[in-house]
């Protein structure tokens, strides 16, 4: 199914050391949010916000890829393209795919206006197994922003689910002078929508000015999870999750957290045939437009993660299905760490599982992508007394509080892949970093720490998913 052109484009860019080898990204050019993520008759379909003409953000199309294991992907033709003179003439923004009585149906936001400021909700369906898509002739199906929003420009990213014979839809938005808002609708046919009320309203001083890309799903017997991507005035965009109970279309929050302390944004979830809730998210770049233009590509998707809740209602995440591309394995036995320990192994495509004991006064972690002259490295460091994770690359630093229970070990899972490092700590704190190694030279791995004790270290060299 891989077209000649996309294979050639991939080959041409494959020598770029910054380009991930086992994470999904398009053959070339720009990608942002995952869209329409769905398992359909055993195959996973991933759509994505895509500018097929440039490595920079632009007129949004829906790219499309398919996979049977969520790791190996084949490119398919564009699924949605803006139509001049229609509700989506400026862009086909984010949305979801649902099974409408056997007919795959996309609900997405169409945009119009010089600044995409007219945002309405549109439908498209497929009659050839999700390959080609026909837009509903009477699009848009929903255009009025609820008056309580006090604004009409931010109203997008439908997330739709079915309960009995009723469809429910969430839209990301904001309430003027208040903060982000998620509006709840219902429908019997995906076409006529009735507004119910806000599912949740934010606070612009605390959690962003616009809430985008909502997800809402039941994750345990009595707990529902709402995920929102909060757009801030400072462009320090953050993904929040809220856990609570849901009854009679009302959501009562009992706890909340940050889904990722780094570059992961606009995640989308889907449920699989084993009833697992799987999340995939856009790993934003942290480099200039000039660098993206020179590279010819921009944007990566995370490795899909299976979600769960722990007894304290914290969202837990575990990367899926990587065994099939794990290559050479390196194992290190338990040992004290009081200085840098360089390992024999080198590489920029690694799956790492490091477990440290929680030594009272210690600090521990790893340095990756280390150049011989010591000028470049990514350090991932846990400070036990401060209970803080610190991730540093060049002049950038990211931090997250990781509170460990007494005696709890620190478990670092790191998916290093070119310019991507997905870091998940004790399955419950995620910090996705980007790094931009300046050469394809050898990149070392070091254990770092003081007064630390390594319990075990396992590292796998990862194969490319593009053959
Ligand atoms: N990206 C899309 C929007 C969404 C935003 C546009 C989030 O639909 O709100 O490309 O990254």
Q: Is 157 in the pocket of ligand 1 (CB under 6 A)?
A: yes
Whole-angstrom CA distances from 131 to 81, 206, 429 are 13, 42, 37
Q: Is 266 in the pocket of ligand 1 (CB under 6 A)?
A: yes
Q: Is 181 in the pocket of ligand 1 (CB under 6 A)?
A: no
Using alpha carbons, select from 194, 163, 24 the residue that is nearest to residue 98: 163
Q: Is 60 in the pocket of ligand 1 (CB under 6 A)?
A: yes
Cβ proximity of 272 and 304 under 8 Å: no
Using alpha carbons, select from 251, 235, 232 the residue that is nearest to residue 174: 232
> 12: helix, coil or strand?
helix
Q: Is 121 in the pocket of ligand 1 (CB under 6 A)?
A: no
33 is catalytic: yes
Which candidate in 16, 33, 222, 338 is catalytic?
33
Q: Is 93 in the pocket of ligand 1 (CB under 6 A)?
A: yes
Whole-angstrom CA distances from 236 to 208, 229, 231, 279 are 9, 11, 7, 21
**Candidate from 44-53, 164-173, 179-188, 224-233 with smallest mean pLDDT:** 224-233
Residue with the bigger pLDDT between 227 and 4: it is 227
Q: Is 49 in the pocket of ligand 1 (CB under 6 A)?
A: yes
Question: Which of 54, 94, 106, 173 to mutate to test ligand 1, by most ligand atoms within 8 A of the CB atom?
Answer: 94
DSSP letter (8 states) at residue 146: P
Q: What is the mean pLDDT of residues 289-301?
A: 97
pLDDT value of position 3 = 55
d(CA 3, CA 461): 28
Question: Which of 34, 36, 113, 266 to mutate to test ligand 1, by most ligand atoms within 8 A of the CB atom?
Answer: 266
Q: Is 75 in the pocket of ligand 1 (CB under 6 A)?
A: no
pLDDT value of position 2 = 47
**Candidate from 31-40, 292-301, 441-450 with smallest mean pLDDT:** 441-450
pLDDT band at 4 (very low <50, low <70, confident <90, very high): low
Distance 356 CA to ligand 1 centre (A): 39
pLDDT value of position 1 = 41
Distance 195 CA to ligand 1 centre (A): 22
pLDDT, one tens digit per residue, over 187-222 is: 999 999 999 999 999 999 999 999 999 999 999 999
Using alpha carbons, select from 281, 246, 242 the residue that is nearest to residue 260: 281
DSSP letter (8 states) at residue 339: S
Distance 94 CA to ligand 1 centre (A): 6
Question: Which span out of 49-58, 358-367, 433-442 was modeled with the highest average pLDDT?
Answer: 49-58
Cβ proximity of 80 and 108 under 8 Å: yes
Cβ proximity of 116 and 91 under 8 Å: yes
Counting from 1 in the atom list of ligand 1, the atom nearest the Cα of 172 is 9
Counting from 1 in the atom list of ligand 1, the atom nearest the Cα of 95 is 8
Distance 212 CA to ligand 1 centre (A): 7
pLDDT value of position 362 = 84
Predicted TM-score (pTM) above 0.85 = yes
pLDDT, one tens digit per residue, over 381-399 is: 999 999 999 999 999 999 9
Cβ proximity of 112 and 96 under 8 Å: no
Q: Is 32 in the pocket of ligand 1 (CB under 6 A)?
A: yes
Counting from 1 in the atom list of ligand 1, the atom nearest the Cα of 109 is 8
Tell me which residue has its CA closest to atom 7 in ligand 1.
266
Distance 86 CA to ligand 1 centre (A): 19
Question: Which of 29, 30, 32, 107 to mutate to test ligand 1, by most ligand atoms within 8 A of the CB atom?
Answer: 32
Q: Is 228 in the pocket of ligand 1 (CB under 6 A)?
A: no
Distance 357 CA to ligand 1 centre (A): 41
pLDDT, one tens digit per residue, over 36-50 is: 999 999 999 999 999
d(CA 279, CA 303): 9
Beta pairing class for 297-298 and 29-40: parallel
Distance 49 CA to ligand 1 centre (A): 8
Distance 225 CA to ligand 1 centre (A): 21
Counting from 1 in the atom list of ligand 1, the atom nearest the Cα of 237 is 11
């Amino acid at each position: 199914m891989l077209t000649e052109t996309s294979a050639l484009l991939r080959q041409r860019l494959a020598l770029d050391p910054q380009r991930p080898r086992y994470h999904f990204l398009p053959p070339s050019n720009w990608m942002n949010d995952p869209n329409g993520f769905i398992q359909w008759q055993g195959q996973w379909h991933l759509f994505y916000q895509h500018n097929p003409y440039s490595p920079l953000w632009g007129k949004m199309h829906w790219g499309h890829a398919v996979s049977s294991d969520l790791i190996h992907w084949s490119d398919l033709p564009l699924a949605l393209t803006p139509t001049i003179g229609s509700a989506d003439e400026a862009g086909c923004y984010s949305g979801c795919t649902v099974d409408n009585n056997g007919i795959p149906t996309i609900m997405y936001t169409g945009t119009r206006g010089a600044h995409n400021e007219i945002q309405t909700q549109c439908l498209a369906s497929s009659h050839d197994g999700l390959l080609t898509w026909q837009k509903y002739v009477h699009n848009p199906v929903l255009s009025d922003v609820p008056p309580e929003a006090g604004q009409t420009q931010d109203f997008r990213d439908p997330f739709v689910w079915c309960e009995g014979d009723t469809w429910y839809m969430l839209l990301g938005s904001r309430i003027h002078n208040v903060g982000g808002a998620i509006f709840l609708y219902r429908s019997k046919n995906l076409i006529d929508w009735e507004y119910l009320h806000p599912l949740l309203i934010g606070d612009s001083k605390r959690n962003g000015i616009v809430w985008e890309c909502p997800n809402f799903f039941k994750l345990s017997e009595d707990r529902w999870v709402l995920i929102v991507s909060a757009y801030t005035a400072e462009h320090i965009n953050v993904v929040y999750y809220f856990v609570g109970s849901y009854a009679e279309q009302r959501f009562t929050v009992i706890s909340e957290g940050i889904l990722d302390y780094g570059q992961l944004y606009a995640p989308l979830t889907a449920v699989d045939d084993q009833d697992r809730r799987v999340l995939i998210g856009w790993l934003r770049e942290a480099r200039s437009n000039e660098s993206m233009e020179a590279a010819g590509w921009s944007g990566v998707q995370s490795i899909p993660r299976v979600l769960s809740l722990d007894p304290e209602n914290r969202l837990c995440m575990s990367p899926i299905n990587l065994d099939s591309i794990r290559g050479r394995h390196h194992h290190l036995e338990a040992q004290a760490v009081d200085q840098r320990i360089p390992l024999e192994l080198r590489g920029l495509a690694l799956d790492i599982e490091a477990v440290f004991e929680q030594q009272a006064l210690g600090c521990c972690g790893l340095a990756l992508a280390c150049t011989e002259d010591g000028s470049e490295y990514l350090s991932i460091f846990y400070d036990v007394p401060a209970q803080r994770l610190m991730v540093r690359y060049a002049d950038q630093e990211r931090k997250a509080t990781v509170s460990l229970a007494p005696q709890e070990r620190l478990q670092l899972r790191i998916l290093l892949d070119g310019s991507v490092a997905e870091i998940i700590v004790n399955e419950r704190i995620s910090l996705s970093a980007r790094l931009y190694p300046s050469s394809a030279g050898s990149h070392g791995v070091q254990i770092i720490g003081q007064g630390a004790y390594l319990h075990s270290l396992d590292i796998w060299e990862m194969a490319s998913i593009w053959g």
